[in-house]
């Protein structure tokens, strides 16, 4: 049986997905990147191998996410795609007639507008990561609440407080202030969810025509408090697809499938890649005044990839 | 007298020619790099924009290396309430440097020329010859860049085309008369014309924003090259030469300002400083010329561009054209930047195919 691997190396979590030709999910892994993309991807590969074993043959690999360059070297990728395209592909496949995609991940948030199955407009947070997953994580930790229960608490609020959502620093001091005044944790969390949604719609979603079907995906979609706040603010139904966490990986696996149908070959290095020793090394090129930081990735001692140069000098291995 | 001027793209080529032919020695800092940026950041007010910080880094480098006269092309216009250039001057003075500071404003160009004549003790005819040669080089270097980025998406061997282009620019740098300058341009455009497949039309993006960010590849992460490699044709709204043309040449200035005001009317009725009105005007102009998308570069804390970003959002909704604003600041890492640009390019391709 043919299968296709999609890898999404995000800022906070790494997702691996294996699908077959009929779009059945054979394996899916969701782990924390923990600042170690190389090891995380290798561990993920090992776990995937354990799950699918010899049942399927990987015929195409796609990578996405902010760590896509490095991941493409480790697994040997056929398709290297940005997150926006990957998320759009997955959503339009799994939820037909999607017209708006709200996606909030660990470090970024985006809105994708689709009409008739193609992306016609999108926006991404510009300079600030307020309201993304890592901020919510941090707040949950500060309040001593497991992140899984965070959203549920928001639904129990009877009187959400007003929190400044523009900047995570302001939001946090606002929250602390409200908590010192004696507001209940539930009300503060609900206020935070509303603030983040308000900020998202003003900042990322500004000027965009948000029409249903609206799909909400990315790690933060697990937070039912945020979902409820979106439904309230937009007054429309929000769909959280079953695989909301791994949509990027699914999208890029679908693209890898298309790639295989066209080219009938793959660059996949095999599951053995989880055992290779990868070592990144960097240096400053002093050939000109640009002083580029060149990064070289060694696979078992020999040079496998190199990037970071502004001129063509280091492009060829 | 040792003259220095900050980098802005390739503007150092014509300026060096200009001063060389007047017999003035110049000090040119290395192309913008992290060291220069760090110096600029160290001594700038935190809230100033990336262009300000980069220019300050350039000036401090030149002063450290023996320059005694600093020339700024523009910088006392309404941007930063007219204090852009004066702040640079004051910061360098506070650091203990003593030098002559000349701010070339298009409106006071004649006064500047008289001042130069006195400083250099040369004749008007010398200045005239130097200006004509410098102007020709400035126009040519901008036309070469414009042509290259218009053709890049169609060139099959993109990697070596960059090398080729740099060689042409180096040749231009060496040339010292108008005939050879024109010949370089003609040869290169003939060379590119062969590689351009006239039956293909890739999506076109108009890049709008302030003059510094658009023309300095270090601060815009080489956006035109990046898009060219992804098969997108690009055009800048403002080149240094078009800015000089529409501001210094008073007979063209009036006509351009009227044209700009007429088209922007209803979106931005008054000039609010910086390049806000140019941004709005060129966005509308690109849309009228059937461009597929607009990319708006905003240096963080730039007030005029923040205002025009809001206007552009309305234009995007009304004209149904994708417009993406990208904020640039000191961050070196390009992944987030590339993700947005790549996604924008892909979206334009999808839209383009559908039509």
B211 to chain A, closest Cα gap in Å: 21
Tell me which of B175, B199, B223 is where a domain ends: B199
Give yes or no: residues B261 and B210 share one domain.
yes
Give yes or no: residues B36 and B138 share one domain.
no
Give yes or no: residues B235 and B312 share one domain.
yes
pLDDT surpassing 70 at residue B332? no
Q: Where are the domains of chain A?
A: 2-87+248-275, 96-240, 278-307
Contact residues on chain A for B329, CB-CB shorter than 8 A: 127
pLDDT surpassing 70 at residue B233? yes
Q: Do domains A2-87+248-275 and A96-240 have the same CATH topology?
A: yes
Does B347 lie at the interface with A, CB-CB under 8 angstroms? yes
Contact residues on chain A for B33, CB-CB shorter than 8 A: 289-291
Give yes or no: residues B77 and B167 share one domain.
no
**Amino acid B176: pLDDT:** 87
Contact B100, B35 (CB under 8 A): no
The C-alpha atoms of residue A136 and residue A134 are separated, in whole angstroms, by 5
Contact B78, B85 (CB under 8 A): no
The C-alpha atoms of residue A271 and residue B275 are separated, in whole angstroms, by 54
The CATH number that applies at residue B286 is: 3.40.50.11900
Contact B217, B165 (CB under 8 A): no
Using CB atoms and an 8 Å cut-off, which of residues 143-182 of chain B contact chain A?
A: 159, 162-163
Q: Domain limits at B240?
A: 201-355
Nearest to B346 among A85, A290, A312 (CB): A85
ipTM of the complex: 0.81
Q: What is the mean pLDDT of residues B189-198?
A: 88
Q: Helix %, strand %, coil % for chain B, to 5?
A: 60, 10, 30
Contact residues on chain A for B335, CB-CB shorter than 8 A: 66, 69
* Digitized pLDDT (tens) for each residue of chain A, 317 residues in all: 899 999 999 888 999 999 999 989 999 999 988 888 999 999 999 999 999 888 889 999 999 998 998 999 999 999 999 999 999 999 999 998 999 999 998 888 899 999 888 888 898 887 666 678 888 888 889 889 998 888 899 999 999 999 887 778 888 888 899 999 999 999 999 999 998 898 899 888 887 889 989 999 998 999 999 999 999 999 999 999 999 999 999 999 999 999 999 999 999 998 988 888 888 888 888 887 777 888 888 888 888 888 877 777 787 77
**Amino acid A129: pLDDT:** 62
Give yes or no: residues B85 and B9 share one domain.
yes
Give yes or no: residues B234 and B252 share one domain.
yes
Phi, psi of A2 (to 5 degrees): -85, 145
Give yes or no: residues B348 and B269 share one domain.
yes
Give yes or no: residues B211 and B113 share one domain.
no
The per-residue pLDDT for range B28-52, each reduced to its tens digit, is 999 898 889 999 999 999 888 999 9
The per-residue pLDDT for range B20-29, each reduced to its tens digit, is 998 899 999 9
The C-alpha atoms of residue A166 and residue A200 are separated, in whole angstroms, by 9
Q: What percentage of chain B carries pLDDT values higher than 90?
A: 63
Tell me which of B101, B122, B143 is where a domain ends: B122
DSSP A4: E
pLDDT band at B139 (very low <50, low <70, confident <90, very high): very high
**Amino acid A58: pLDDT:** 92
**Amino acid B333: pLDDT:** 66
**Domain spanning A2-87+248-275: CATH 3.90.1110.10:** no
Contact residues on chain B for A84, CB-CB shorter than 8 A: 339-340, 343, 346-347
Give domain A96-240's CATH architecture.
2-Layer Sandwich (3.30)
The CATH number that applies at residue B95 is: 3.40.50
Give yes or no: residues B205 and B354 share one domain.
yes
Give yes or no: residues B61 and B189 share one domain.
no
Tell me which of B148, B169, B199 is where a domain ends: B199
Total domains in the fold of chain B? 3
**Amino acid A35: pLDDT:** 86
Give yes or no: residues B13 and B67 share one domain.
yes
Give yes or no: residues B38 and B118 share one domain.
yes
Q: Which residue of B has its CA nearest to A310?
A: B222
The C-alpha atoms of residue B178 and residue B182 are separated, in whole angstroms, by 6
């Amino acid at each position: 049986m043919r299968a296709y691997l999609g890898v999404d190396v995000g800022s906070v979590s790494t997702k691996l997905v294996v699908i077959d030709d009929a779009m059945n999910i054979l394996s899916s892994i969701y782990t924390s990147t923990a600042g170690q993309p190389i090891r995380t991807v290798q561990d993920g590969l090992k776990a995937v191998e354990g799950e699918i074993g010899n049942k399927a043959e990987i015929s195409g690999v796609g990578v996405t996410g902010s760590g896509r360059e490095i991941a493409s070297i480790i697994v040997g990728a056929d398709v290297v795609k940005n997150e926006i395209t990957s998320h759009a592909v997955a959503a339009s496949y799994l939820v037909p007639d999607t017209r708006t995609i709200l996606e909030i991940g660990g470090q970024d948030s985006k809105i994708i507008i689709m009409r008739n199955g193609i992306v016609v407009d999108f926006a991404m947070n510009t300079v600030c990561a307020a309201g993304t997953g890592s901020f919510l994580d941090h707040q949950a930790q500060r309040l001593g609440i497991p992140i899984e229960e965070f959203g549920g608490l928001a639904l129990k609020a009877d009187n959400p407080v007003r929190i400044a959502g523009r900047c995570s620093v302001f939001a946090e001091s606002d929250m602390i202030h409200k908590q010192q005044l004696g507001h209940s944790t539930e009300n503060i969390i609900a206020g935070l969810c509303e603030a983040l949604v308000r900020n998202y719609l003003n900042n990322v979603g500004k000027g965009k025509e948000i029409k249903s079907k609206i799909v909400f995906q990315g790690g933060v979609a697990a937070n039912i408090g945020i979902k409820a706040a979106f439904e309230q603010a937009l007054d429309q139904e929000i769909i959280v697809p079953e695989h909301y966490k791994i949509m990027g990986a699914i999208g890029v696996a679908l693209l890898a499938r298309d790639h295989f149908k066209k080219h009938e070959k793959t660059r996949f290095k095999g599951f053995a890649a989880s055992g290779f020793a990868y070592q990144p090394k960097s240096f400053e090129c002093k050939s000109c005044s640009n002083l580029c930081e060149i990064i070289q990735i060694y696979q078992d001692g020999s040079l496998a990839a190199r990037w970071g140069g502004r001129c063509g000098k280091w492009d060829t291995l | 007298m040792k003259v220095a001027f900050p980098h802005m793209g390739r503007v150092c080529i014509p300026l060096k020619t200009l001063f060389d032919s007047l017999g003035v020695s110049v000090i040119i800092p290395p192309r913008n790099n992290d060291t220069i940026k760090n110096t600029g950041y160290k001594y700038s007010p935190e809230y100033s924009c990336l262009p300000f910080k980069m220019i300050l880094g350039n000036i401090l480098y030149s002063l450290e290396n023996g320059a005694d006269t600093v020339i700024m092309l523009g910088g006392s216009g309404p941007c930063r309430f007219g204090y852009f250039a004066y702040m640079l001057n004051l910061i360098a003075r506070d650091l203990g440097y003593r030098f002559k500071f000349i701010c070339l404003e298009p409106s006071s160009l004649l006064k500047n020329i008289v001042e130069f004549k006195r400083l250099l003790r040369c004749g008007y005819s010398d200045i005239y010859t130097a200006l004509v040669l410098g102007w020709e080089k400035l126009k040519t270097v901008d036309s070469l860049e414009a042509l290259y980025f218009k053709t890049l998406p169609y060139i099959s061997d993109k990697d070596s085309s960059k090398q080729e282009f740099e060689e042409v620019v180096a040749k231009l740098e060496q040339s010292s008369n108008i005939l050879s300058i024109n010949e370089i341009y003609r040869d290169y455009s003939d060379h590119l014309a062969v590689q351009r497949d006239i039956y293909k039309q890739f999506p076109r993006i108009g890049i709008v924003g302030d003059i510094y960010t658009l023309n300095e590849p270090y601060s815009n992460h080489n956006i035109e090259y990046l898009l060219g490699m992804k098969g997108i044709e690009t055009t800048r709204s403002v080149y240094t030469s078009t800015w000089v043309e529409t501001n210094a040449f008073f007979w063209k200035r009036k006509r351009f300002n009227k044209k700009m005001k007429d088209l922007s009317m209803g979106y931005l009725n008054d000039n609010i400083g910086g390049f806000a009105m140019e941004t709005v005007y060129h966005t509308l102009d690109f849309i009228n010329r059937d461009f597929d998308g607009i990319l708006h570069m905003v240096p963080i804390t730039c007030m005029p561009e923040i205002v025009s970003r809001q206007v552009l959002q309305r234009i995007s909704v009304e004209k149904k054209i994708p417009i993406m604003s990208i904020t640039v600041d000191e961050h070196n890492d390009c992944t987030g930047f590339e993700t947005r640009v790549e996604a924008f390019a892909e979206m334009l391709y999808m839209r383009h195919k559908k039509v």
